[in-house]
Amino acid sequence: MTSTLKISSLTKRFDGVAALTDVSLTVAPGQRVALLGHNGAGKSTMMKIILGLIPATSGKVEVLGAAPGSAGARAGVAYLPENAAFHPALTGEEQLRHYLRLRGESPSQALSLLGRVGLGHAARRRIGTYSKGMRQRVGLAQALIGHPKLLVLDEPTSGLDPVSRRDFYALLDGLAAEGASILLSSHALTEVEARTDRILILARGRLVAEGTLADLRRVAALPVAMTVTARNGYANTLAEALPGARIDAAGLLHLTCAQESKLSMLARIADFGTKVADIDVVPPSLEDIYSHFSQREGQ
């Protein structure tokens, strides 16, 4: 089957100011793709173009083989806006029944959908009384209506506690297994870690990195940090033998080395035998990798 979403050379300008510049990407059926970037990097703009809410300045966008915002595209695409909002006078159930009818589905599914996102108990309360996290779940419930082929989720986990966040990703795994493509945005790499197949990083409207977490790690080639604990009295001996090492107040040795020389460095330290009490290897953190890509451009 062809790709669910295909974007080529997409550019969007607001009054001459570039919001997106020459962005190209494809999303295959069943793929979970995370779109990362700072506030103002262009994530929401890109999503709105995919949904057909705003037009692109130039470039080509194809959603389920149709133009964004066309009847065919809208029938197969679900959206969860950032800070999902609903009419406060309606109950969660009434709001979902409304959305179900708009999609031509049976309104009787409302309660089971709310149950799936853990809101069954509050279905008959007005949305005006809901917390932010609960509104976000109503938003998620409406995005599940009618087995969409593409889910566009704008910062879906903001306002969710860690447990609900895990439940949310479990739900997405189920949808992706059924063949739905998922494009979700976030501004934290730690949040999407291991729950998405592919990561895209946007910075100032440009796509600066793309790939799996392992790909990004490799391309960024950030140094590995090591902390060595020497046996009593040997700290200085070790520090002299290891170039670039420094001793902190607690007597621990800190050093860094390139990704590819990690093993040889470990072997050298192991050669000291009983002079070494312990060793910790700290790979570059997800935040380090993310900062590396999102700040490189335009600095």
Partner 1 sequence: MHRILATAGTEFRIALRNRWVAIAIVLMTLFALVLSAAGSAPTGGLGVDRLSVTVASLTSLAVYLVPLLALLMSFDAIAGEVERGTLPLLLTYPVARVEIVLGKLAAHVAILALAVGVGYGIAAAAALAVDPDAMAGLPALWRLGWTSVLLGATFLGAGYALSALARRPSGAAGLAIGLWLGLVVLYDLGLLAAVVADDGGWFTTDLFPVALLANPADAFRLFNLSASDATAAASGVGGAAAAIPLWQSALSVALWPLVALALATSAFRKVTP
Q: Which residues bind partner 1 (CB under 8 A)?
A: 48, 51-54, 71, 74-75, 77-79, 81, 83-90, 94, 98-99, 101-104, 139, 142
Shortest Å, Cβ 26 to partner 1: 21
89-74-63-108 Cα dihedral, nearest 10 degrees: 80
Shortest Å, Cβ 165 to partner 1: 21
Shortest Å, Cβ 166 to partner 1: 25
Half-sphere exposure of 174 (CA within 13 A, CB side): 9
> Which of 89/277 has CB closer to partner 1?
89
Q: Of 242, 247, 229, give the one whose Cα is nearest residue 268.
A: 242
Longest CA span, the chain: 76
> Which of 58/83 has CB closer to partner 1?
83
> Which of 104/244 has CB closer to partner 1?
104
- Could you identify the residue written with the tokens 């902390």? 227
Shortest Å, Cβ 145 to partner 1: 9
* CA 169, 171, 172, 178 torsion-angle sign: positive
Distances (CA, A) of 218 to 113, 173, 201, 286: 41, 26, 15, 12
Taking CA 290 as the corner, what is the angle to CA 286 and CA 295, rounded to the nearest 5 degrees?
Answer: 150
> Which of 66/225 has CB closer to partner 1?
66
Q: Are 111 and 123 in contact (CB under 8 A)?
A: yes
> Which of 87/218 has CB closer to partner 1?
87
Pairwise CA distance, residues 40 & 191, whole Å: 19
Shortest Å, Cβ 48 to partner 1: 7
> Which of 103/268 has CB closer to partner 1?
103
Shortest Å, Cβ 153 to partner 1: 12
Pairwise CA distance, residues 238 & 39, whole Å: 45
